[in-house]
Structure 1
Amino acid sequence: MSLTGKAAIVGCAQYRPEKYATAPQMFHLEQIADLARLALIDAGLTLRDIDGLAVNGAHFNEATAFVPAVVAEYLGLQVGFAETVDLGGTSAVAMAWRAAAAIQLGLCRAVLCVLPGRLAPPDPDADPAAVAAAMQLGAHSGCFGAPEAEFDLPYGHVGQNTGYAMIAQQYAHRYGYDAAAMAGIAVAQRSNAQANPEALFYGQPISVEDVLNSKMVADPLHILEIVMPVAGGAAFIVAADDLARECRHRPVLIRGCGEQLDFKSPSYARDMTVTPIARAAQRAFLMAGMKPADMDMAQIYDCYTITVLLSLEDAGFCAKGEGMAFVRDHDLTWRGDFPLNTHGGQLSFGQAGTAGGMSQLIEAVTQIRGSAGERQLHRHDTAFVSGTGGVMSEQGALILTGA
């Protein structure tokens, strides 16, 4: 089965990223309802039009099971398609193609895809020590019986920083490492954020020297090469093409998709320098009948600069080992010859937890619609969008085009 462009993204909504200390606390159900309302207004639809639902089943405070049913009941929905997606930072990409496939199969006509990203009010019965321990381990599994709990965590392999640093070290050993070129990725995205008033780092440009002189967190990764966690959240609506034509904006067609999950911990990766996006992107381009050179923009998941570099290579925008030369030879800003993460990316826009990957998808939609304001691209009909979950464990790709 392949997607035929019969489903389009027709509405989206995104909270402005905020520091956790200043953002309002809201139950996840409240966030979902509010984001759904905003996305429906953007699309020009009503809740009665929604008959499909995709939500995140992990870290959902108000339910540990039956999450779609709880959400549907809260919103007053009756749906013919319901899905929980637990793929970390690639959840948004995964939701989009699942929604499109369900529409193409005739299960539904309009799917609400939503990921809350603000803190929920604390559970008064929760064990503070258990919560703190879970946060300390980052994305890794410390549960009894988990391989990581026995073979990784006792030896200091905790959180995401160590995993991505190991990947960067392995890449450097095999292909060499240009720290200034890597810093340039962060600088270009911070430059893009200066044209996006919604970005967390709007009004705060940086230079390559700033990145290289910033704190070393996990060699070779500096703090300005590492994502900024924020409070946020986002939603989008995927609709059948006939319904999409009745909506307020230019429909953004989902033309190709791919997904690949290879491991949980990079300790067990066959080759840390070859990431799952290689096969995911290949499938997406093949399905769409397009190639990397056909893309007007790339909205690539950017939890770390090394994530961007490897994704550029493995998605086919340049050959393996040539990523740093590619970055040096191209202008990655919205004004440049290879527009990358034109909203600032998560490095400069901010990463709202699992909802962080929504920002790349929503930026692609915004650009294809032609409503990006100052940072609007002149050529904006095609977009490559990627998602990354875990430590390069699970990745997804979308090819989006304007109708």
Structure 2
Amino acid sequence: MQTALTTALPDIIQEMGVTANAGQWLTSGFSLAMGIMIPATAWLIQRFPTKPLFITSMFLFSAGALVAAIAPTFVWLLIGRITQALGTGILLSLTQVVILTIYPQAQQGGMMGIYGLAASAAPIIAPTITGLLIDYMSWRIIFWFGLGVALVDIIFALVVMKDVLPTRREHFDWPSFLLVSAAFTGITIGFGNLGTAPFLSSGIALPLGVALLMAVVFVWRSLRIEKPLLDLRAFRNRVFRTAVILSVLMYAILIAASTLFPIYVQTVHHLSATVSGLIMMPGSLLMAVMSPITGRLYDRFGIRPLVLTGGTLLLVSSIGTSFLTIGTSVAYLTAVWTIRSAALACMMMPIVTWSVTQLSGGAIASASAILTTLRTIAGAVGAAVMVALMAFVTKQGHVGQPAVASVGGMNAAFMALTVLASVLLVISLWSVRRNKAVEGE
């Protein structure tokens, strides 16, 4: 659901009668709400039993899907999306913590690889499914479909789930929660307004300034109190610190590319949402197949070979999309996107698993929340910045040749993603050590 509306936004904007800037909040608002909810999940996991917490998250998701499916106005649709995001925020961290707690370290890579079938492949597959649905039915079917899956999920959970994580009574750190919420909101609003206002305007500089101030106060407070909302002392661990940096870069590239690619296919090539989705389908299928395999490879060989392979493939695919033309073939686009998907399969879940190899108990919940929160916000910011860059370069392009101008803007955005991919690969070469024994030193 985080990326499902990428190809449906034009239809929603037209039906609801809103601007493109307002419509984009259906995506960025979802990421923001999810990013705000995830830090609280570290406390929820320790406070409430596993099964009721999981079912509660799915009920929130279901309620949001229902509201969005029947929404009479854009405001109600946005409320539905935000409610969905609250449930998703709980679900993502909870699932990772359960897997990393109940399995020994030697099996964590394989199990996280299986989990990666959903967490890694779903954001890539979603635009494909959406494209097929909206070309033949209303965009509302997306939410009815999500509601159906969620209800089936709840039934399975009632039957088979158990309470597997220890609980204890802990005070909830409301001041820190409000600080981190304000910081993430400021970041999302500030970067979301890029391209619609001057950088030093109140619409951009003010929310970013407030976000920076709130973030500084949050970090200062978290390092001074005994039981903070998020235990930032995890950053003292070199492995975790490196994993967070790699995940932030990777998610910024992933969400930005997932947003830009359908726009290029539909606006430059004038292909349908269905074709746009089908171009991405081989990569999605490859990613789903590779996730369990890369998990097993992590258990056997450690993180370094996977990250270097994934980083190299990601750089190659980013370079491959930096020189597009109005005549670039569909076969080429499919091949480049498939390479990108293979790169993400090599890195996404193995990096999450690697990030907590030095941690245990409650520290895993906090570390998982930190990692998931930062990469979620990075995805939203990455998409906003790259779309703004694309729009800016397009406006400076060939007058009277909108397709050529659009390609120029798209290439500029993908060149920027190539720079991020290069940074990711350099960090991998420099900071990711050869095997798990060494990594633990």
Q: TM-score normalised to the size of structure 2?
A: 0.30
Pick the structure with more helix per residue.
Answer: 2
Which has the greater radius of gyration? 2
Pick the structure with more strand per residue.
Answer: 1
Q: TM-score normalised to the size of structure 1?
A: 0.32
